[in-house]
Structure 1
Amino acid sequence: MRDSPSDQPTVVEVLCAFIRTNAAAPTEGTEPALIPWAPEDVRAAVTVLARRPTHAEHPLYRLDQGLDFTGTQLSLNGISLVGGTLDGTQLARSLFSNADLTEADLRKADLRGAVLHNTNMWRADLSETVLIEANLNGSRLDSANLYNSNLVGAKMYNVDLRSANLSYANLAEADLQGADLGNANLEGALLHGADLRRADLRNAERLTSAAIRCSWVNGETHLPPDVVAPETVPPSERAACM
């Protein structure tokens, strides 16, 4: 693809078709942990596509050609896609545990229900990405861009979110127990029902008392000095949250 920009659309379409054929979702709703390990040739094809040249590298490369992984469910444990481009890709309920997605472009990707625990996503771009009920436990998301992402019900236990951009992200019902949000930007973030017990938000930016009035907190939740902690009773029992 790098030597012949005009062939890129065809190569991308052929490789996507190969992946759809060889990594089709077994049955609807199959848990990621139960899907077969992706064969090496499928992993290789995903790697080639994620590292395809971009328009920024050469004006002849297409701006608009996404990756069509419709109907797939990928098991890509431990894969390295550093700086890869997977924006807008359908990756729901896929498995990326222990993967390296450092500085990857995952804008507007569909990762609902995906398993990404212990995954390195340092400085990854996840803006407007769908991560509903995704498992991100123990992952690195420090300095990641999660602007306007949908993280409803996501599992984010002990996640590193230092200096992450979470502005206008939907974190309703997300499990952020033990998460480190030092210097994270939380402007406009929705935290209704989010579990912030043991979370460190001492240096979080643009966090307000109103934003966490219906969040779970405890004595080990660390908040900025100007943010008032809500009651420690369950959110459902607070008058402001009924």
Structure 2
Amino acid sequence: MALRRGSRPERPERPERSARWLAWFAAAPGLAALVGVGATLATVHQAGKQLTLAEEGQYTTRFNEATKNLGAEKRDVAIGGIYAFDRIMHDSEKDQPGVIAVLTAYARENSAVPMTGTFTRLSGRIPELRPDISAVVSILAARPQGKDGRAQVDLTYTDLHNLRLVAYRVDETQNQLTKGGAKPELLHLGPVNLNQADLRFARIVRVDLDKSFLGSANLTCLFFTDTTLLGSNLEGAKLDLVNWLEVKLGDKADLSGARLRGATLEDVDLSHADLRNTELCDTTFKNVNFTGADLRGAKLKGARFVNSTGTPPANSLSCQDWPLPAPITPDGTVVDTQPFTEQSRHAHCKYPVDMQ
């Protein structure tokens, strides 16, 4: 074929190039779809971020409103704020440490034990615990577990006398046990710092107080049932006239220097416990394990041991200022505390006279 000057010969199109173009044309719809998916994902991600920010803003608003209610002069408004914090704590894990800090500060400020370390004298019928303080403790005991972060349930120097913290009502329990029903779950207040707290006449049933500090707390006439204190410290606590049933203290419990005068402990494991210099005068121990317990310097005058193992040898060391003054009932009858009896113990705990 003759070629003109300056012209190039036509080359036949390569089959592989044609195939490549065909492949690109075939893939074009898919690529467009991928681009669309990417754009959609980016939009969803941005919407998710905006939603998260909106939710966080909502929690901040709810937190601030609850704080305002907590500071209200009217008690019912403050209680409303307390329960608003409860809802926030269950809805937002991030806010739980802040809620704990606010509620415990409220309890310490509004129901304080004097920093002098002396407890208010109680006489006659025991006054009820303030409902707002009771609500704070109940909410803290029902908080979601494992969400506290570095927050501490700090109830040091807090007046919690006559507290009722019960996972179920006793009458309901009897019905459940009779019918063979399962026991309800524990409430979880621990770990909690109750240093110098006032828990006189409190009733605590099926509560987890593990790894708590109760040093120098006043637990006079405390009713403890089916409660755990594993790894807790009760050094120097006042436990006069307490009634402990199926309380779990764990190995090497520290009760050194504590007062348990006139108490009743049943089905309690005190094996390897530190009981040095404790006052155990007139205390009754039923089915208690003392194996390996350190009782050096313990005062045991009048102590009774029933079906207990590893019981210490009797000694006549008496407790200081014991027994307590005879309580007086509303009709003016003096309950005789000599000799000390279970009846007089209950009378003491119901109608105390100048009991510290």
Same fold (TM over 0.5): yes
In the TM superposition, 1:8-47 aligns within 5 A as 8-33=96-121, 39-47=130-138
Match of 1:181 among 285, 292, 295: 285
- In the alignment of these two chains, the number of paired residues is 207
TM-align CA RMSD: 3.1
Match of 1:105 among 198, 209, 220: 209
CA contact (8 A) 2:240 2:261 kept: yes
**CA displacement, residues 82-135 of structure 1 (integer Å, 9 cap, x when unaligned):** 433132413314133142243331433124141331412433325332241412
| CA–CA distance in structure 1, aligned partners of residues 163 and 143 of structure 2 | 20
In the TM superposition, 1:199-214 aligns within 5 A as 199-205=303-309, 207=310, 212=312
- 3-state secondary structure, aligned to 2:203: coil
CA contact (8 A) 1:86 1:109 kept: no
Any stretches of 5+ residues in structure 1 without a counterpart? 56-60, 219-242
| CA–CA distance in structure 2, aligned partners of residues 64 and 23 of structure 1 | 24
Per-residue deviation at 1:15? Answer: 0.9
- 3-state secondary structure, aligned to 1:100: strand
| CA–CA distance in structure 2, aligned partners of residues 178 and 142 of structure 1 | 20
Residue 165 of structure 2: aligned partner: 80
**Pair 1:89–1:101, CA change in 2 (3 A):** farther
CA contact (8 A) 2:220 2:238 kept: yes
Comparing 194-203 and 3-12, the one that deviates more: 194-203
CA contact (8 A) 1:37 1:75 kept: no
| CA–CA distance in structure 2, aligned partners of residues 116 and 51 of structure 1 | 25
Per-residue deviation at 1:158? Answer: 4.0
In the TM superposition, 1:91-170 aligns within 5 A as 91-145=195-249, 147-170=251-274
Residue 155 of structure 2: aligned partner: 69
**Pair 1:173–1:216, CA change in 2 (3 A):** farther
The one-letter code matched in structure 1 to 2:94 is: S
Determine whether 1:48 maps to 2:139.
yes
Any stretches of 5+ residues in structure 2 without a counterpart? 1-88, 168-186, 319-356
Length-normalised TM-score, structure 2:
0.50
Comparing 185-194 and 25-34, the one that deviates more: 25-34
- Percent identical pairs in the alignment equals 25
CA contact (8 A) 2:107 2:158 kept: no
**CA displacement, residues 118-168 of structure 1 (integer Å, 9 cap, x when unaligned):** 412433325332241412414124343254333234332343323212123
